[in-house]
Amino acid sequence: MARNIVEFRNLKTYFYTEEGVVKAVNDVSFSIREGETVCVVGESGCGKSVTALSLMRLIQSPPGKIVGGEIIFDGRDILKLSDAEMRRIRGNEIGMIFQEPMTSLNPVLTIGDQLMEPLMLHKHMTKKEAWNKAIELIKQVGIPRAEQIMTSYPHELSGGMRQRIMIAMAISCDPKLLIADEPTTALDVTIQAQILDLLRRLKEEKKMALMLITHDLGIVAEMADYVVVMYAGKVIEEAPVRELFKNPKHPYTRGLLKAKPVIGRRQERLYTIPGQVPNPIDLGDFCYFSDRCEYTMDVCRKKMPPLVADENGHKVACWLYEGEWKK
């Protein structure tokens, strides 16, 4: 049983805005094991990106602030590290790629320059060594004519190629963990598949853990070892991937699965979960899904259900599975 490379413990990240406090991450706890792929799923605004950015300590403050909890990475509490120590981890032990490859690369610097930066900084390579390693990386992510790419600028590359470069940059220092925040959302479907394949391959070769953030259950099915479902800043279900798809417990998860159209099966009407994500400002102590849930009970509106595990290691936060309400 591999050890945990990341442990989120009661993480709370809030945003203080003019309209009120947004509890973007509201007491989130889960772990990622060495070499494991954990998919964090949820709708826009549920807090999945903020969780990842909290781990990287890239939360813009003001207005954001990590107000509580711990994040243990490789045995150390990230939140207690100094800025300098944190910088040594970023790009080095943890790599991160983002959603928009079109804007995530600096338009006035060459690809080569941007690739070489982390190598020279973290691995103390000379320019020559970094140059050669960068070429290797470009080949590794499956881009031909590496030499030419090195002197090109981002706008000369396609979206898919740029995302590959982002990946190359992120893994360049052999990190223990790669965070991918919706890496394929902005890309064509065919390119999506290629990028996912690439991620899978690199993960195997480098024995990296992968934290994959997405709202697409298809990607979850393909890539995940373990799934964490978030809603309105909280984890509402988590389980190994097969278990989750076979036996979804939380009504939200069930709704998500029902909503995904299946190829080959015709439906009169596509299913959507009724209602909307709640206003994230000043949320109180009740189940946030309660007003959209078809199984809502009185207790759901009065108290927040805790996250509880069952025999299979399948955790869920729902009153349907608690105590006397257990079905």
Partner 1 sequence: MTQFIIRRLLQSIPTLIGASIIIFLIFALAPGDYVTRQFENPKMTPERMEQLRALYGLDKPLPERYLRWAGNMLRGEMGDSLMFKKPVISVINDFIWNSFLLGVAIMFFEWLIASIIGIYSAVRQYSVFDTIATLIIFMLYSLPSFFLGLLLLKIFAVDLRWFPVGGMITTASNYTGWAHITDVAKHMVLPVATLTLISVGGLSRYFRANMLEVIKQDYIRTARAKGLKERTVIFKHALRNALLPLITLFTLEIPSLFAGAMITERIYNWPGIGKVVLQAIYVRDYPLFLGYTMLITVLTILANILADVLYGIADPRVRLK
Partner 2 sequence: MERLTPTLDYRKNRKKGGTSLWQDAFRRFIKNKYAILGLVILTFMFLFAFVGPYFSPHQDVPDVTKANQPPSNEHWLGTDNLGRDVLLRLMLAGRISLTIGIVATLILLLIGVTLGSIAGYYGGWLDVIIMRIADIIYAMPGLPILIVMGAIMSDLKIPPAHRIYYVMFILGIISWVGVARLVRSQILSLKEQEFMLATEVLGLRDSKKIIKHLFPNVLPTVIVAGTLGVASSIISESALSFLGLGVVPPTPSWGYMLSAANNMIDFAKRPWLWIPPGVAIMLTVLAINFVGDALRDAFDPRQKI
Binding site for partner 1 (CB under 8 A): 56, 58, 87-92, 95-96, 98, 100, 103-109, 117-118, 121-122, 153, 155-156, 166, 169-170
The reply on whether position 28 binds partner 2 by CB under 8 A is no
Give the strands of the sheet with 64-73, arranged side by side.
20-33, 4-17, 64-73, 76-77
Q: Number of helices (H) and strands (E), helices first, in the chain? A: 11, 12
Among 6, 30, 64, 115, interactor with partner 2 by CB under 8 A = 64
Taking the C-alpha atoms of residue 141 and residue 144, their distance in angstroms, rounded to an integer, is: 9
Residue of 19, 23, 31, 20 lying closest to 66 (CA atoms) = 23
Among 5, 6, 8, 15, interactor with partner 2 by CB under 8 A = 15
50 binds, among partner 2, partner 1, none (CB under 5 to 8 A by kind): partner 2
Asked whether the CA dihedral 52, 133, 203, 2 is positive or negative, the reply is negative
Question: Which span sits near partner 2 by CB under 8 A: 82-90, 194-202, 274-282, 303-311?
Answer: 274-282
276 binds, among partner 2, partner 1, none (CB under 5 to 8 A by kind): partner 2
122 binds, among partner 1, partner 2, none (CB under 5 to 8 A by kind): partner 1
Taking the C-alpha atoms of residue 119 and residue 309, their distance in angstroms, rounded to an integer, is: 42
Q: How far is the CB of 213 from partner 2 (least distance, A)?
A: 8
Cα–Cα distances in Å, from 233 out to 47, 118, 158? 5, 32, 34
The reply on whether position 50 binds partner 2 by CB under 8 A is yes
278 binds, among partner 2, partner 1, none (CB under 5 to 8 A by kind): partner 2
- For the chain, the straight-line distance linking the first and the last C-alpha, in angstroms and rounded, comes to 32
Site string for partner 2, 174-213 (x = CB under 8 A): -------xx--x---------------------------x
The reply on whether position 248 binds partner 2 by CB under 8 A is no
Assign residue 170 a region: left if phi > 0, alpha if psi is -120 to 50, beta otherwise? Answer: alpha
Kindly list the residues in this chain that would bind partner 2 in the complex (CB under 8 A).
15, 17-19, 22, 24, 44-45, 47-50, 53, 59-60, 62-64, 99, 181-182, 185, 213, 276-281
